[in-house]
Structure 1
Amino acid sequence: MPPLHILLGLLLLLNPPPCCSSAAANGDKLTAGQALAVGSKLVSRNGKFALGFFQPAAAAGSISKSSHSWYLGIWFNKIPVFTTVWVANREEPIIHHNLNLTQLKITSDGNLVIVGDLSYLSRSTLQYGVKSQKNKPRAALLLNTGNLALTSQHTMLWQSFDYPTDLLLPTAKFGRNKITGFSHQLISKKSLIDPGVGSYNIELQDTNGFILKRRNNPSMVYWRYASSTISSLNLLPVLKSLLDLDPRTKGLVDDVNYVDNNQEEYYMYTLRDESSPSAFVLLDISGQIKLNLWSQASKSWQTIYAQPDNPCDPPATCGPFTICSSKPNQSCDCMENFSQKSPYDWEFDDRTGGCIRNTLLHWTHERNTTSSTDIFHPTSQVQYPYNSQSILNTTTQRKCEEACLGSCSCTAYSYNNRRCSVWNGELLNVILAEGIDNTAEHVLYLRLAAKYFLPSLRKNKRKPNLRVVTAASIIGFGLLMFTLLLLIWRNKFKRRSLLSISYDNQGSAGGIIAFRYTDLVHATKNFSEKLGGGGFGCVYKGLLSDSKTSVAVKRLDVAHQAGEK
């Protein structure tokens, strides 16, 4: 069976377009002799869906990015958030610069093809197509359901619903053909700006039922549902009741059908009518199956239901050397002394690269013996990664640690109930397990370079705690204001008491006392009682603050040239 991206009836030709011109396609139909070029689109009769060439674009925080690649796909036409529902060439993007030569058309032999200067494409794309039936006109029709169908005299020869990408629209079958062995499957996309084949897929298999698994290495099944007539008869009413309990989905789904006969087995759901809010089942980038519903109030897609319920359950959803936390929302963080391999990819939900070391490990190999100065950092309250190896004859934690240090590929170990487990290579699926006590039985010892633990290095690498910095700033500002007020009050007090303090010190020290002008004004009652005149000024009577000592105060007056008695 060909890969999903090689669609039956969608050929990517290597030859340039013919010299003769083609009429532009319009409406919801593309017929022989017409062409759909970049910038044009087909629109379903109800206006809900559009087909054309597009460039993926997304915004993450302050970053807005458009892909350099072009794709042929179908999207919601009336929803302001650009959302594709099907992509034809997700593994063979159009990357050439001469887009004017790229067209979708029906060839003379009745095949639906993309033509243009596509010399970069592999020859494998020419292997699959609809068998030609001469003298029978064909047309490509975009239906109101979002299904692209290739028809000939009211007979459907091929449809996009048989080759879904990462989501399932209402009225589309999801199941398998018992005769041919063909199976529908959803495959997640790589990132928000790359609709290519991602890490997870789900399909209905012969005896295993629904299988949700990780495609990339390591490949593993992490969710399954045993499909049968009995189990489906029990599940479907419950599922519909759950949807009716939610005000957002009450009355939305008209029916959920399960069909199992001699030819095929499939599930299909339908909405009550075309005026119902847009909804679809999605296999998300994270590996979760989600039921998404368009909210007109918030102008966004809302997730009504997700499976698995824990977003950290899909294997390696955060990538290698990361810790996944599901509360309150999913978050992925790098392990100690690791940083994001590609922060740009992380911004657009592509975490397959995970995190990489900031400081390389140190080890030497001499005479068939490996030695290392590396140190282990305890990481508590986590669910252990998978693919562990047990080390026998290790009766103590110290021996378990030495066994890990003796291998240059060992990256972590745990010692639990006298059992030593080690991990080699990348650490995947480390999950923060809330509720586990911080004991040695639930600790993962992560191998790090010894020089990372140097105080100067750790000081530079340690990330500041925002709460601590904020609290310290507030406390520092408060202390500064308190000190300033204290100095103002102290200065004012000293001014009031300076006269008395100075006089008391005169008796004990016998020196010359300096008075402030304001103190002299207060002692002489603003120079109101004149005693006489002297050289360069008048002399006034004053009384110090102890109310016992009388003084004579001469006030300098440069206008006086001689004394007066």
Structure 2
Amino acid sequence: MDDTWHSQITKHPPQDSILTYNQPKAQCDVYAVCGPFTICNDDDLPNCICMDGFTITSPLDWELEDRTAGCLRKTPLHCITNKNTTYSTDQFASLPCVRLPKNASKVEIATSAEECAQICLNNCSCTAYSFGDEGCYILHHELINIAQLQCGGTTKNSDGETLYFRLSAQDVQSSKNNRRQTVGVVVGTGLSALGLFGLGLLLMIWRNKRKRSPRKTYGSDGGRIIAFEYTDLQRATKYFTDKLGGGSFGSVFKGFLSDSHAIAVKMLEGAYQGEKQFRAEVSSVGAIQHINLVKLVGFCCHGPKRLLVYEHMPNRSLDIHLFKDDSTILNWTTRYQIALGVARGLAYMHESCRDYIIHCDVKPENILLDALFVPKIADFGMAKILGRDFSRALTTARGTIGYLAPEWIYGVAITAKVDVYSYGMVLPEIISGRRNSDASCSSGGDLGVFFPVHAARKLLEGDIKSLVDHKLQGDVNLAEVELACKVACWCIQDEEFDRPTMGEVVQILEGQVETRMPPMPRLLQAVAGSSCSTCS
């Protein structure tokens, strides 16, 4: 955390210190805000559109302004690999003046656009390429974070590149035919629009009259949230009868909006602030959007009651799947993607907003899973709306025992590295499927050994396979297990400056950056009562 943030926290008396939150400068700067195979445009509404040859994955979610599911192909690609030969009838469609994703790979051997295109066609996982002054770049699998730029009518400038994305030959031909028909369609549409405008205006008036209590929305166009009436939430939750869970902040209830969209309503306890300040804070939190952060749908102020409305996560929280015997067993690929998704969400909170957002309570219970087991970090930013009895200053200890960084104990000013430490404590639990504080290790019989210490020892001995959840029956990627163990050990170093940032964690887990064996944290070494000083 930089000196500006530190002075912001300490220049006021502790009782007046609060967290501040800001939304990104541009909607398209939010990671995966539009989902895969989309084009994001900050200068147009809606901000997200599908690429040619693709269609919206979930129209209902798009109507609710959640575009993170993105788009899917109308026609599958035709690419066959047989030993050393690849055959494909696919073609490319051009998309001028865009900002390329950061994960584009440079191909040094391609010296022309034709060679670059052929290299992409020869790889069935290649979905796009770009060739310019900097050479040939190719992209694999899903295309995410394609942003449209303003290039003054040219196909390319110093900031924009032309992206050639892969489509089936059928879709490329359909796209060309659609362009030929555009002129005629525009003329016909213009005439029809005049008649439809009057009809639509009458329909809007009729619908508005039917609404008994219209809802207000707050925030920017990219992050609007709804101000619900308390009676709306009573009806949606059947008077708060379907309880999903609860904690120190309050209780969570399942409900359904009038369009059958599932929601989770959190009723806060012990919180009271002025309505204006409450709504301003909620609006700020609501503008923070990321595929790995749970989405805030709206809020409610009703007398002293404060309620927050989130999207419902059908697969509940990560702890249920890791620690309960009667739950779904997560395979290794899913676990690794959960670890990577959580890292991306935290990196966004720490590094991509105008100010730091520190979660302060990263643990499996606060990692929710959607229908596809995509992780969503939940319960962040609550310190902003709690009364002084809960937390008076940023340095006041909070969180969950077992995931707390040493700085909480020392009472010093904390940084985003406390979240890095907590993340490092969650990783061994994802790997092993057991609590770090369980009385015994799954292998070796070392009773009373804190599991992260046991994991560090096994990492030294080269016996990482014994750390993996036995329910997976050995079906794991050992290289990924070793990488996750190294990351965990780096994240739980005693000194915060020895820990990586969450952005660096993402790069390591994605395989973009190599990492060496970490030293054994001294505090954990003391817990273990071991003479071993390093993991290397």
Alignment TM-score, normalising by the size of structure 2: 0.32
Alignment TM-score, normalising by the size of structure 1: 0.30
State the structure with bigger RCO (CA 8 A, min sep 6), 1 or 2. Answer: 2
Higher normalized helix content (fraction of residues): 2
